[in-house]
């Protein structure tokens, strides 16, 4: 671990080690704490107490800074204050209401017709000499995102050893909050995985990337994003670019995860399944830490498919959540 220079360096290192020892990746947070360390060294070189002044100075919103970015800066420093207090030191814990409120992010949900058009374009992906497996990877990779509702990094970081190709089960290890889980593949997706495996991985090592990118490295976030933008453009789906908080989001790679959850709930309602029993299944499948994160999709389902609202209300009563339009976007990340 690289050296820190402020008077809080010992506690920063201790906090990072503690978080990582209990399973958190804590990489981005470590980077934020490094910037906080530099901030303290520059502005408060002689201060060894995480005071109200220091904490509030750090939490001041910068010009043009998005509230979600500010939330990301504030949270690790709040955790640092708690860690210092637990170790017998005085520290000021930033109050949770310090970040400005703004309308909740509304995710984009692909329609059935849009999905059909998108996958038609993805399936026509051509061979590329720089990334020779690209035409094999893209159709399976994007189907995995939609059919299983995976987060992008969960799919990108899959290794050959994580895929039980015989039984059709994938093990996810690069997950949010380090919560490992196993996901079964549907029959159709399992068959595609078997064909894909024979085309690419018959001679691979267990630690090779299951979806190899440039020079057999894992696909980067930007690479996936650029390919996706091209596919949806070819499918005649407009991308409005940056949208304001509270407006419907633009179609993105993460929209497949949102769409999976909404379409899954729609299918269960139409099949007459008991959602009291099946919502925890969806929660586990998506890797949600909170039941409310999963229940949020009930609201999206009723918004998009009002014809099933009555059926949901009859079965679940007031379980369908009312959207809090002043909730921080940080609460939505990871859906």
* Average pLDDT rounded to a whole number, residues 71-82: 94
Find tokens 């692909």 and name the residue. 110
- Candidate from 43-52, 122-131, 203-212, 310-319 with smallest mean pLDDT: 310-319
* Average pLDDT rounded to a whole number, residues 301-312: 72
Nearest C-alpha neighbor of 80 from the set 171, 179, 12, 5: 12
Residue 315: pLDDT band (50, 70, 90) is: low
CB neighbour class for 50 (10 Å; exposed up to 12, middle 13-18, buried from 19):
buried
Exposure string for 132-160, b = 16+ CB within 10 A, e = fewer:
ebbbbbbbbbbbbbbbbbbbbbbbbbbbb
**pTM here?**
0.73
* Average pLDDT rounded to a whole number, residues 21-25: 80
Q: Residues 142, 119: contact at Cβ < 8 Å?
A: yes
Residue 158: pLDDT band (50, 70, 90) is: very high
Residue 243: what pLDDT? 63
Residue 127: what pLDDT? 87
Ramachandran sector of residue 186 (left: φ over 0; alpha: ψ -120 to 50; beta: rest): beta
pLDDT digits (tens, 9 = 90+) for 163-194: 999 999 999 988 876 678 899 999 999 999 99
pLDDT over 60 (residue 322): no
Mean pLDDT of the chain: 86
pLDDT over 90 (residue 238): no
Cα separation, 125 vs 283, whole angstroms? 33
pLDDT over 80 (residue 221): yes
Residue 193: what pLDDT? 97
* Range among 62-76, 202-216, 288-302 with highest mean pLDDT value: 202-216
Residue 327: pLDDT band (50, 70, 90) is: very low
* Range among 71-75, 160-164, 330-334 with highest mean pLDDT value: 160-164
* Average pLDDT rounded to a whole number, residues 261-274: 88
* Average pLDDT rounded to a whole number, residues 298-303: 79
Residue 316: what pLDDT? 56
Residue 309: pLDDT band (50, 70, 90) is: low
pLDDT over 70 (residue 312): no
Residue 39: pLDDT band (50, 70, 90) is: very high
Residue 250: pLDDT band (50, 70, 90) is: confident
Beta-bridge mates of residue 287: none
pLDDT over 50 (residue 320): no
Work out the angle between the directed axes of helices 291-304 and 255-270 (0-180°, nearest 10): 70
* Domains of the chain by residue range: 9-98, 112-234, 255-331
Cα separation, 335 vs 50, whole angstroms? 33
112-234: CATH homologous superfamily? Intergrase catalytic core (1.10.443.10)
Nearest C-alpha neighbor of 189 from the set 142, 143, 153, 158: 143
Ramachandran sector of residue 236 (left: φ over 0; alpha: ψ -120 to 50; beta: rest): left
């Amino acid at each position: 671990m690289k050296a820190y220079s402020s008077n809080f360096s010992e506690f920063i290192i201790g906090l990072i080690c503690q978080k990582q020892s209990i399973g958190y990746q804590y990489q981005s947070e470590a980077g934020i704490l490094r910037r906080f360390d530099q901030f303290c060294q520059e502005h408060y070189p002689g201060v060894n107490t995480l005071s109200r002044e220091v904490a509030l100075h750090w939490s001041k919103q910068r010009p043009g800074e998005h509230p979600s970015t500010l939330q990301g800066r504030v949270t690790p420093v709040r955790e640092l204050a708690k860690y210092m207090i637990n170790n017998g030191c005085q520290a000021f814990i930033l109050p949770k209401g310090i970040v400005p409120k703004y309308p909740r992010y509304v995710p984009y949900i692909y329609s059935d017709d849009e999905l059909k058009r998108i996958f038609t374009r993805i399936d026509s992906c051509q061979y590329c000499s720089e990334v020779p497996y690209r035409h094999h990877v893209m159709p399976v990779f994007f189907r995995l995102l939609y059919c299983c509702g995976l987060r992008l990094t969960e799919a990108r970081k899959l290794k050959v050893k994580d895929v039980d190709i015989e039984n059709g089960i994938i093990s996810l290890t690069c997950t949010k909050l380090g919560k490992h889980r196993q996901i079964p593949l549907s029959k159709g997706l399992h068959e595609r995985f078997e064909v894909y495996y024979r085309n690419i991985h018959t001679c691979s090592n267990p630690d090779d990337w299951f979806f190899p990118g440039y020079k057999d490295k894992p696909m980067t976030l930007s690479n996936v994003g650029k390919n996706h933008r091209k596919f949806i453009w070819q499918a005649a789906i407009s991308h409005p670019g940056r949208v304001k908080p509270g407006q419907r989001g633009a179609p993105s790679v993460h929209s497949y995860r949102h769409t999976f959850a909404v379409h899954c709930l729609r299918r269960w309602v139409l099949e007459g399944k008991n959602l009291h029993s099946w919502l925890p299944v969806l929660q586990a499948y998506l890797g949600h830490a909170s039941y409310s994160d999963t229940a949020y999709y009930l609201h999206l389902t009723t918004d998009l498919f009002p014809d099933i609202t009555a059926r949901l209300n009859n079965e679940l009563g007031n379980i369908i959540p009312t959207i809090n339009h002043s909730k921080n976007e940080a609460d939505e990340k990871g859906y």
